[in-house]
A = this chain, B = another copy of it.
Amino acid sequence: MSSPNQPLDLTLDGGALTAQLVDFPSVSGDEQALADAVEAALRDLPHLTVDRHGNNVVARTNLGRAERVLLAGHLDTVPIADNLPSHVEGDLLYGCGTSDMKSGVAVQLRLAATLPEPNRDLTFVFYDCEEIEASRNGLGHLAAEHPDWLVADFAVLMEPSGAVVEGGCQGTLRVQVRLTGVRAHAARSWLGDNAIHHAAEVLGRLAAYRPRRVDIDGLEYREGLNAVRIDGGVAGNVIPDECVVTVNFRYAPDRDEAAAEAHVREVFAGFDVTVTDSAPAALPGLGQPAAQAFLAATGGTARAKFGWTDVARFSALGVPAVNYGPGDPNLAHKREEHCSLSAIAEVETRLRDWLA
């Protein structure tokens, strides 16, 4: 394996470069050394303009092409789980960040180094603090401070997607439905009004709810409306005067945040509903010309993305975006995290074919 914290060698193949990145620990909040190395490697490439904000690095071609494509990846990982340094077993590279998402970052760096004259202008974005609270997300900071650096016609977020294009993402809305009553001693329950019993109707509506399946740009999105928490009770001998049901609505990208909230309020009409958390959905944007060419280059198939990812940030900036990366999303954040070396090579080849 390579030694940690050496200058990055962009002439390595994608798998070996992934290993070098993985052996460069960069847990969220501790990305500076890796950001420095990425910036230094990019500044060696004369065809790129390089900008930096905090531990976020942006490199761009400026060839005056008709379209601009943005390739984005985060530099941070979840905490190391006794799974460094990396090691290879057959086709698999093991270690923290192999899947989520230093394999994607390696492909970005390989394309940056090897495509001096791409057919579309390119923007490479490397950002920090994706794995922690949203307020620290480097892509969010760039969107707020330097939105011009993120201008593009189409974006590919190289999060693990199993080398399959995953379009858009669901929105997520959390609300609390609060039931109230009157407290009383359980021995004289007729003097009270049981708030937990009032939750029967709320849970009944949830149990009877039939979520939509929505086709958008040929991708099927499945919604879901679920209680994720219920709390009520004062003591074993007291009629409770409050019960709170926390509900999570995962919705397809044909609803915006306001429409999602209106729908949930309609489902719980007559009840006290408070929004506690909201993040918008992202449309897959597969109708864009750049996206059509991208889809053809990557095999022609795409599926809906269900989890919430930073593609929603691009969507909010007006940039259609998809997830497409070599990692396996089911292995992200696991001790046994690994990535297929052939998937890394495949994703790099398909993107080069599209952009060369």
Known: A197-B207, A203-B203, A207-B200. A190 touches B233 (CB 8 A): no
* A233 with B228: CB separation less than 8 A: yes
Query: In the complex, which residues of chain B have a beta carbon less than 8 angstroms from the beta carbon of A197?
Result: 203, 206-207, 226-227
Q: Does A5 contact B (CB under 8 A)?
A: no
Known: A204-B200, A236-B246, A246-B236. A227 touches B185 (CB 8 A): no
Residue with the highest number of chain B CB atoms closer than 10 Å, among A199, A201, A206, A307: A199
Q: What residue of chain B has the Cβ atom nearest to residue A277's Cβ? A: B236
Q: What residue of chain B has the Cβ atom nearest to residue A188's Cβ? A: B306
Q: Does A231 contact B (CB under 8 A)?
A: yes
Q: Mark A286-306 against chain B: 1 for CB-CB distance below 8 A, else 0.
A: 000000000000000000001
Known: A206-B197, A236-B246. A189 touches B224 (CB 8 A): yes
Q: Does A248 contact B (CB under 8 A)?
A: yes
* A307 with B185: CB separation less than 8 A: yes
Cα–Cα, bound, A176→B277 (Å): 32
Residue with the highest number of chain B CB atoms closer than 10 Å, among A172, A198, A230: A230
* B248 with A227: CB separation less than 8 A: no
* A199 with B240: CB separation less than 8 A: no
Cα–Cα, bound, A207→B193 (Å): 10
Cα–Cα, bound, A196→B185 (Å): 26
Cα–Cα, bound, A185→B224 (Å): 11
Query: In the complex, which residues of chain B have a beta carbon less than 8 angstroms from the beta carbon of A170?
Result: 187
Cα–Cα, bound, A239→B189 (Å): 33
Q: Does A186 contact B (CB under 8 A)?
A: yes
- Min CB distance, A260 to chain B, in Å? 14
Question: So how many copies of this chain end up in the complex?
Answer: 2
Number of interface residues of A (CB under 8 A): 47
* B227 with A196: CB separation less than 8 A: yes
Cα–Cα, bound, A248→B188 (Å): 12
Query: In the complex, which residues of chain B have a beta carbon less than 8 angstroms from the beta carbon of A206?
Result: 194, 196-197, 200
Q: Does A63 contact B (CB under 8 A)?
A: no
Q: Does A19 contact B (CB under 8 A)?
A: no
- Min CB distance, A317 to chain B, in Å? 22
Query: In the complex, which residues of chain B have a beta carbon less than 8 angstroms from the beta carbon of A49?
Result: none
Known: A185-B307, A206-B197, A207-B198. A228 touches B236 (CB 8 A): yes
Cα–Cα, bound, A236→B308 (Å): 13
Query: In the complex, which residues of chain B have a beta carbon less than 8 angstroms from the beta carbon of A231?
Result: 230-231, 233
Q: What residue of chain B has the Cβ atom nearest to residue A306's Cβ? A: B187
Q: Mark A158-195 against chain B: 1 for CB-CB distance below 8 A, else 0.
A: 00000000000010101000000000011111100010
Known contacts A186-B226, A229-B232, then 9 further A-B pairs from the complex at CB < 8 Å, ordered by chain A residue: A187-B224, A187-B306, A196-B226, A200-B200, A228-B234, A228-B235, A230-B230, A233-B246, A236-B248
- Give chain A's interface residues, CB within 8 Å of chain B: 170, 172, 174, 185-190, 194, 196-201, 203-204, 206-207, 211, 222, 224, 226-240, 243, 245-246, 248, 250, 277, 306-308
